[in-house]
Amino acid sequence: MPTYTAPLKDMQFVIRELAGLDEIAALPGCAEVSADLVDAVLGEAAKFAQEVLDPLNCSGDKQGARLAGGKVIAPDGFALAYKQFVAAGWNGLSGQTAFGGQGLPHSVALPVQEMWSSANMAFCLCPMLTAGVLEAVGHHGSAAQQKTFLPKLTSGEWTGTMNLTEPQAGSDLSAVRASAVPEGDHYRIRGTKIFITWGEHEMARNIVHLVLARTPDAPEGVKGISLFIVPKFLVNADGSLGERNEVKCVSIEHKLGIHASPTCVLAYGDDKGAIGYLVGAENRGLEYMFTMMNHARLGVGMEGVALAERACQFALDYAKTRVQGREIGQRSGDRVTIIHHPDVRRMLMSMRAQTEAMRALAYVAAAALDKSKLHPDEKQRRRQQALVDLLTPIVKGWCTEQAVEIASTGIQVHGGMGFIEETGAAQILRDARITTIYEGTTGIQANDLIGRKVAFEQGATAKAVIAQMRGVVGDLDQQPTLATMRTALVAGVTALETATDWLVATFPAKPAMATAAAVPYLKLFGTVAGGWQMARAALVAQKQLAAGQGDAGFYRAKIASALFYAGHILPQASALGHTVINGSASTLALDVADF
């Protein structure tokens, strides 16, 4: 089986040239984020991902997490790897410096997360969930809660979980039933939570659960949900660990993928009730969850990028070593590796071009997230906030949907061997399959996109992005070698603009028609935004080549990827645009009763 090698060159290229590292470094509090620091961080993270996490990916998938006597046992090697992860300080990458973190921006943290996820997504989920708790408590917890929980969550000595889902409350959290009854300075929590990633394990000394529950007099629906900290072990006043709280793992799920990550059913309070501490004010739990949603969703989008990258590497390795058939048109002579066959090349190029486009869009969104939080100018902050709000569902929805397709193409490159687990290609598809579902399904992302992000503001931010895309079209005017990119981008942007106008006009009057077109619109936006970034990348590459600077081989390959994207991926935009505008009637034509 091939091993994962972090694509450092492309990552550095995107961070510097497309996401704009200079602008990030100019933000208050980011003075340290220089190119050489980023290189050093990425380089060492790559080493850790390649040497510690990647070797456990396949074995972890095969062995899976197990539940024995109420304890969840992670696959062999995971506990040691986690210990090394914590010892190397990676858990604190983006944590607040006040609690021992390094305070590095998302523009650095998300690329690092890409490497963890490529190397071993099941492992990476554990620190990702901890990061979610850090952010929620960091924003909304009391000073005392922060002092008690954040230092150890930042270091990774303790891990965190998110407890939202219940059997009857999945995408619709208004149906949450877990209860929280006040008792002195705390609450007693009762209820069952499902799908809790790394909800129980022995890799860390304590687990801090964030739990959504209802207080006795809470109003119905989403406005009556509060957020609680429920530690696995109660924490004494001196910070030492006390009694075991009333939360236990009653089962773990048997899943299609991410086998090494235990997905737990957690039972809270089967006697007196688990002790929980209210975060912020009552009934505002969901609102608090939303503050970290962009980050969490970008993180899952990044998993899509990460698995697509892994799929590319595995497929390429196989295509370069598997000998089968002769060069097309040759009847005699040596047999060749399958990368010589045009259709295999097509598959490899399609995987590569899309993965590069996805990475570029995700990093650009991460940079917008940083600017939305840190930019000194309030107007800029608001503009960047609107941009990251718009891009987040696209990165989450589009990158993960494409990742599934890319992982599937990766199997196709392997032929029959791809269907056999030992090549590792199948695991990538199985692992990728969850990414379009958790943290909001593609449908939820698309609804968020067309409703809150596009229609409610009459497409203002979408139009601003489209204007930026047209600016890139202008830059392409002077580049005859990129003419096919220009043509494809113009067609794509036009399709996107027309579809956006249709959505803005249709949504208020016919919300069902608009919503039926939501996912095609999300895919349209992703496809065109990916083309926009590939065009930018090609322009930079062209400029560097003309100046005779840098790695000519890399830039030529970048232009080849961009032109493939223009020839094969971007043209899909017109078809998607057609579907958005004309497809909804047929979607809704068949009555529910007639299905």
Residue 221 CB, shortest distance to another protein, in Å, is: 43
Whether residue 4 contacts residue 316, with contact meaning beta carbons closer than 8 Å, is answered with no
Q: Which is nearer to another protein, 52 or 213 (CB)?
A: 52
**DSSP calls for 510-535:** -HHHHHHTHHHHHHHHHHHHHHHHHH
Q: Which is nearer to another protein, 251 or 549 (CB)?
A: 549
Alpha carbon of 169 to those of 161, 193, 404, 484: distances in Å?
Answer: 17, 9, 26, 48
C-alpha to C-alpha distance for 180 and 285, rounded to whole angstroms: 12
Residue 31 CB, shortest distance to another protein, in Å, is: 11
Q: Clarify whether 439 is annotated catalytic.
A: yes
C-alpha to C-alpha distance for 259 and 245, rounded to whole angstroms: 27
Packing angle of the helix pair 518-547, 378-414 (nearest 10 deg): 90
Residue 48 CB, shortest distance to another protein, in Å, is: 6
Residue 74 CB, shortest distance to another protein, in Å, is: 20
Residue 47 CB, shortest distance to another protein, in Å, is: 7
Q: From the candidates 114, 303, 439, 497, which is the catalytic residue?
A: 439
Q: Which is nearer to another protein, 2 or 170 (CB)?
A: 2
Q: Which is nearer to another protein, 46 or 466 (CB)?
A: 46
Largest CA distance in the chain: 85
Between vectors from CA 161 to CA 156 and to CA 165, what angle results, nearest 5°?
Answer: 170
Of the candidates 196, 15, 201, 204, the residue with the CA atom closest to the CA atom of residue 91: 204
Q: Which is nearer to another protein, 37 or 256 (CB)?
A: 37
Site residues, another protein (CB under 8 A): 5, 8, 32, 34, 36-37, 39-41, 44, 47-48, 51-52, 84, 87-90, 92-93, 102, 550-551, 553-554
C-alpha to C-alpha distance for 439 and 508, rounded to whole angstroms: 27
Whether residue 565 contacts residue 360, with contact meaning beta carbons closer than 8 Å, is answered with no
Whether residue 83 contacts residue 202, with contact meaning beta carbons closer than 8 Å, is answered with no
Residue 314 CB, shortest distance to another protein, in Å, is: 17
Sequence-distant (≥ 6) Cβ neighbours of residue 123 within 8 angstroms: 53, 56, 57, 60, 78, 81, 82, 116, 260, 261
Whether residue 199 contacts residue 209, with contact meaning beta carbons closer than 8 Å, is answered with yes
Q: Which is nearer to another protein, 15 or 566 (CB)?
A: 15
Catalytic sites, residue numbers = 439
